[in-house]
Amino acid sequence: MTEEEIIERIKEQEDIGMEALANRYKKLLVYIISGILGARADDIEECVNDTYLKIWRNVDKFDFSRASLTTYLKVIARNTAINRLRDVRRHELCRADVELSQCADVVVDSSADVEDAILKKERAEWLNEFIRELPKKEQELMLRKYFYLQPSKQIASAMGMTVNAVDTKLSRLRGRARDFLKLQDT
């Protein structure tokens, strides 16, 4: 079943669409989520299921002209895992008998004002532009480290590099990105 057929079946609320989605993408989702959550099997399974649920509920918003189904799933899985990790850490902090004020600091939403939100979005667009202009190998390094949150050792293994080479290359890329963003801010 193609990505388009899967989405169409889900839009028609046919279970076969979700089954096809799960059969085709579960390993990818587990890989992405476990890279963020580590060995928390229950949390990984919950995040995978939450990703499916988000697709089911928001399938009408999906647009193939903006991204492939694979890309859409990667973003949802990553964000779901990061949110789950925050929740787990928040609960761990609260359970550790920390002072109420410290626990409240973790729970309080630290949303910025409108101006900060606009600036943050603008910088994200500039960073995306910077990454798109990089050679494929450097793009992969940046995505693995900062999007999938993979440790340097895992990146080195997957890309046939040494850990030191990965860290050095990422340090240089961060410097170039910082310079690029400074140019954009002026």
pLDDT of res. 113: 56
The whole-angstrom separation of Cα 139 and Cα 46 is 30
User: Measured between alpha carbons, how far is 155 from 151 in angstroms, rounded to an integer?
Assistant: 6
The answer to whether the beta carbons of residues 29 and 77 sit under 8 Å apart is yes
The confidence score (pLDDT) of residue 115 equals 67
Is residue 75 classed as helix, strand or coil in its secondary structure?
helix
Q: What is the DSSP string of 91-157?
A: HHHHHTT--HHHHHHHHS-----HHHHHHHHHHHHHHHHHHHTS-HHHHHHHIIIIIS---HHHHHH
**Rounded-to-integer distance, Cα 158 and Cα 173, Å:** 19
pLDDT at 106 over 50: no
Tokens of 182: 């400074």
Residue 48 pLDDT: 94
Quick one: pLDDT band at residue 96, thresholds 50, 70, 90?
Answer: very low
Mean pLDDT of the chain: 83
The tokens describing 19, both together, are 């089954």
Predicted local distance difference test score (pLDDT) of residue 1: 87
Please give the pLDDT value at position 107: 45
* Residue 39 DSSP one-character state: S
What is the arithmetic mean of pLDDT over 20-26?
A: 94
pLDDT at 52 over 80: yes
Higher model confidence: residue 124 or residue 13? 13
Give the C-alpha separation, 173 to 45, whole Å. 34
